[in-house]
């Protein structure tokens, strides 16, 4: 890799780099730019996948301008337009809730996928009669927003009815068990990053 130019328009030549090292180096250089500054990327091909990554990480917050499209000499000016990734809409929960109870649908039907984040968020679908078995929660707090359907949350000392619109607080390490009702259950979770829970079928109350 070679680089040259002023602080306002640095040139970054990645043609001699190993393929796995290119994108990390480019994003490291981009992250070091002040707002309004740019770098000229020099590559041996059209970096379409890199452009897709920029669109995913910095939609609306970066500039992408082709300066040269010559064989083994592609030059793209990448400009930093914002100091941080911009706020944006990630999903429509009304649409995610519309097919609650759909046959064969269970588990996470949406998840937060941004690479650099402190939070995890998922939309969990449980089929009619499905559930997450009784367990002690992890060492973190979880916020649950019921989107559609219904069911019950069984705690250490009782049960809570789950209906659309309910916002439920799950304190860290608290005992919990989810069971979907006849329509199924769909809810949004927000929490610090952690491993996903396994989804199973809860036994019928009469069994």
- Domain locations along the chain: 2-80, 93-201
122, 108 Cβ separation under 8 angstroms: yes
Burial of 42 (C-beta count, 10 Å sphere; 0-12/13-18/19+):
buried
Check whether 61 has a pLDDT greater than 70.
yes
pLDDT, tens only, 2-44: 555 444 579 999 999 999 999 999 999 999 999 999 999 999 9
Instruction: Report the pLDDT value the prediction gives residue 93, as an integer from 0 to 100.
Output: 95
Instruction: Report the pLDDT value the prediction gives residue 207, as an integer from 0 to 100.
Output: 38
At 194, the pLDDT band (50, 70, 90 cuts) reads low
Query: Quick one: fold of 2-80?
Result: Translation Initiation Factor IF3 (3.30.110)
Q: Span 108-134, mean pLDDT?
A: 94
Instruction: Report the pLDDT value the prediction gives residue 203, as an integer from 0 to 100.
Output: 52
Instruction: Report the pLDDT value the prediction gives residue 205, as an integer from 0 to 100.
Output: 45
Q: For residue 56, what is the DSSP state?
A: H
Of the given ranges (15-29, 92-106, 172-186, 187-201), which has the lowest mean pLDDT?
187-201
183, 129 Cβ separation under 8 angstroms: no
Long-range contacts of 153-162 (CB under 8 A, 24+ apart): 153/177, 153/178, 154/178, 154/179, 162/187
- Between CA 28 and CA 14 the distance in angstroms is 13
- Mean of per-residue pLDDT scores for the chain: 91
- Does the model's pTM come out above 0.85? no
- Between CA 77 and CA 135 the distance in angstroms is 52
- Between CA 13 and CA 55 the distance in angstroms is 21
Query: Quick one: fold of 93-201?
Result: Jelly Rolls (2.60.120)
Query: Which candidate, 72, 84, 74, places its Cα nearest to that of 50?
Result: 74
193, 117 Cβ separation under 8 angstroms: yes
């Amino acid at each position: 890799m070679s680089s040259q130019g002023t602080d306002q328009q640095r040139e970054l030549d990645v043609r001699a780099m190993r393929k796995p090292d290119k994108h990390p180096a480019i994003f490291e250089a981009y992250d070091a730019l002040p707002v309004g500054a740019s770098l000229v990327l020099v590559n041996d091909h059209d970096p379409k996948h890199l452009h897709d990554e920029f669109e995913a990480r910095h939609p609306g917050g970066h500039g992408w301008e082709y300066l040269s499209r010559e064989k083994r000499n592609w030059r793209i000016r990448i400009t930093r337009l914002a100091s941080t990734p911009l706020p944006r809409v990630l999903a429509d929960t009304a649409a995610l809730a519309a097919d609650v109870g759909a046959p064969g649908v269970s588990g996470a039907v949406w998840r937060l996928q941004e690479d650099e984040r402190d939070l995890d968020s998922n939309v969990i679908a449980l089929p009619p009669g499905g559930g997450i078995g009784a367990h002690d929660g992890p060492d973190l707090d979880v916020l649950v927003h019921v989107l559609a359907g219904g069911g019950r949350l069984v705690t250490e000392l009782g049960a809570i009815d789950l209906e659309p619109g309910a916002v439920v607080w799950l304190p860290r390490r608290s005992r919990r068990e989810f069971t979907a009702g006849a329509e199924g259950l769909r809810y949004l979770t927000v929490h610090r990053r952690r491993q996903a829970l396994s989804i199973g079928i809860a036994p019928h109350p009469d069994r």
